[in-house]
Structure 1
Amino acid sequence: MSQCSVCGHERNDSDIKCPECGHFYSKIAEIIAEQEAQEEMQTFRGRCKRIFNAEDSKLALLTELKLMREGLTKKGLFALFVIFVFVFALVASVL
């Protein structure tokens, strides 16, 4: 048996949360932090942070675009192509 790092309550190794103070034990906290970091990597906000924090923003942007393109299916790529062509045709017809 070990103790809770916050309140010192005796705990079993199978416990994931302290019954006294409600503090999650480090193994669970590490797993939660790792999952949050992985989710942050996949979000638009996380991608933007990586681009803005990079030394070479242009290279970081190109890398992120490549990763996003690799994640798309052929249908997705075709849909994006059609959208861009449609928008270009609209802009060209107005000018």
Structure 2
Amino acid sequence: MNKCSVCGHERNDRDMKCPECGSFYSKIAEIIAEQEAREEMQTFRGRCKKILNSDDVKQEALSELKLMWAGLTKKGVFALFVIFVFVFALVVSVL
């Protein structure tokens, strides 16, 4: 069951026209909305929403971290290592 984009009335997938407001349902609009939702989940903001909306935030954050780590190249891992060492050296030098 989806909702009408104009009035929000619940509808069946077979319906072509909203019984409440009379507007026609557009399959193209639904496909675009689904695509935008998928693209949103690939952004940092979408991933943060996914983590915060899950039942087990810690487990979801760990799974997202594992996905991110698996997608890094050797250059990316080396860059993160250099950044970590640099920040550690700065902190140690201040203390």
How far is 1:30 from its partner? 2.2
Q: Distance between the aligned counterparts of 1:78 and 1:31, measured in 2?
A: 40
Q: Distance between the aligned counterparts of 1:69 and 1:38, measured in 2?
A: 21
Runs of at least 5 residues in structure 2 that lack an aligned partner in the other structure: 1-15, 18-22
Q: Distance between the aligned counterparts of 1:82 and 1:49, measured in 2?
A: 29
Runs of at least 5 residues in structure 1 that lack an aligned partner in the other structure: 8-24
Give the 5 Å matches for 1:53-72.
53-72=53-72
After the TM superposition, which of the residue ranges 78-87 and 30-39 deviates more from structure 2? 30-39
Percent sequence identity over matched residues? Answer: 76
Q: What RMSD in Å do the two structures reach over aligned CA positions? A: 1.7
Tell me the TM-score normalized by structure 1.
0.70
Question: Which residue is equivalent to 1:28?
Answer: 28
Give the 5 Å matches for 1:9-28.
26-28=26-28
Tell me the TM-score normalized by structure 2.
0.70
Q: Runs in 1 of length 4+ with deviation above 3 angstroms?
A: none
Question: Which residue is equivalent to 1:89?
Answer: 89
Question: Which residue is equivalent to 1:18?
Answer: none
Larger Rg: 1
How far is 1:40 from its partner? 0.9
Q: Distance between the aligned counterparts of 2:86 and 2:27, measured in 1?
A: 51
